[in-house]
């Protein structure tokens, strides 16, 4: 079995004396989609920030390979961050740059590629996410779904083995959401990219997630970890209730 890309051990997240989640322990495996779900206020996005080095834990470790993310010096941390891509909920594209310039930026900062090679690679990444004709477009000209795809293209700029997505389907119409699900499935199945995805969309959870990590806002810890179908039928009662909100037979079949 391949070594985990990330290992979380005894993680406690807090804002001052306010504990958000405690005693979290799980791995992120190569080539899997791990979805993080739970009720409002349970700390899903907070956990994502801890996994990418934006918020230090109150206790515990976040290991990328064998390196503790929060014990790394600045140079090591910069190197670690080049091994994963992040697409935030609102896309966070630079409005003063074209879509192509947004995607090229990580390559210009962190690779020795010349201008022509950067453009060629950026055009390839945009084509990969279905935006082959958007290289010269301004972010404001894109629809919400297109902006999210462009953000994923930028997150893939350095060919990372791991991708973090914060509510990728939030605010999208059903067709755009389904297209984004297809893209994430393609990244996992055809490119072997591991994806950690925060989501509350049941359709996406059942269609994409190999495993689901459930955070409980009341007990302030993880209460389940496993395939969504298994948790739907055999998980703790609170998790089953969450997953049955709008469950239908088509939603409970894994991709």
Mean pLDDT taken over the chain: 89
Mean pLDDT on 25-51: 94
Residues 6+ apart with CB under 8 A from 236: 223, 224
Please write the tens of the pLDDT for every residue from 9-19: 999 999 999 99
Q: Which residues of 223-238 are buried (b: 16+ CB within 10 A; e: fewer)?
A: bbbbebbebbeebeeb
pTM of the model: 0.89
Stretch 82-103: mean pLDDT = 87
Whether 192 and 31 have beta carbons less than 8 Å apart is answered as yes
3-state SS string for 195-217: EEEECCCHHHHHHHCCEEEEEEC
* pLDDT tens, position by position, 158-215: 999 999 999 887 777 788 788 888 889 999 998 899 999 998 889 889 999 999 999 9
What domains sit in the chain, N to C, each tagged with a CATH number? Answer: 1-83+199-255 (3.40.50.300)
- Of 54, 58, 80, nearest to 68 by C-alpha is 80
Cα torsion through 39, 43, 48, 51, rounded to 10: -130
């Amino acid at each position: 079995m391949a070594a985990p890309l990330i290992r979380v051990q005894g993680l406690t997240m807090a804002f001052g004396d306010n504990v958000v989640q405690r005693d979290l322990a799980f791995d992120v495996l190569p080539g899997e989609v791990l979805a993080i779900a739970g009720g409002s206020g349970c700390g899903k996005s907070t956990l994502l920030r801890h996994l990418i080095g934006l918020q230090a834990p109150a206790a515990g470790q976040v290991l990328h390979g064998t390196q503790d993310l929060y014990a790394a010096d600045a140079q090591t941390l910069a190197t670690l961050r080049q091994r994963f891509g992040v697409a935030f909920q609102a896309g966070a594209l630079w409005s003063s740059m074209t879509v192509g310039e947004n995607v090229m930026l990580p390559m210009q900062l962190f690779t020795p590629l010349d201008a022509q090679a950067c453009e060629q690679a950026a055009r390839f990444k945009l084509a990969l996410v279905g935006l082959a004709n958007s290289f010269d477009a301004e972010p404001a000209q894109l629809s919400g779904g297109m902006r999210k795809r462009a953000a994923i293209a930028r997150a893939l700029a350095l060919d990372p083995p791991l991708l973090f997505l914060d509510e990728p389907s939030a605010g999208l119409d059903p067709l755009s959401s389904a297209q984004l699900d297809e893209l994430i499935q393609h990244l996992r199945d055809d490119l072997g990219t591991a994806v950690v995805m925060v989501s509350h969309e049941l359709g996406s959870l059942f269609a994409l997630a190999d495993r689901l990590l459930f955070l409980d806002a009341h007990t302030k810890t993880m209460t389940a970890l496993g395939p969504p179908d298994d948790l739907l039928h055999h998980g703790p009662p609170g998790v089953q209730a969450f997953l049955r909100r709008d469950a239908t037979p088509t939603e409970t079949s894994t991709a």
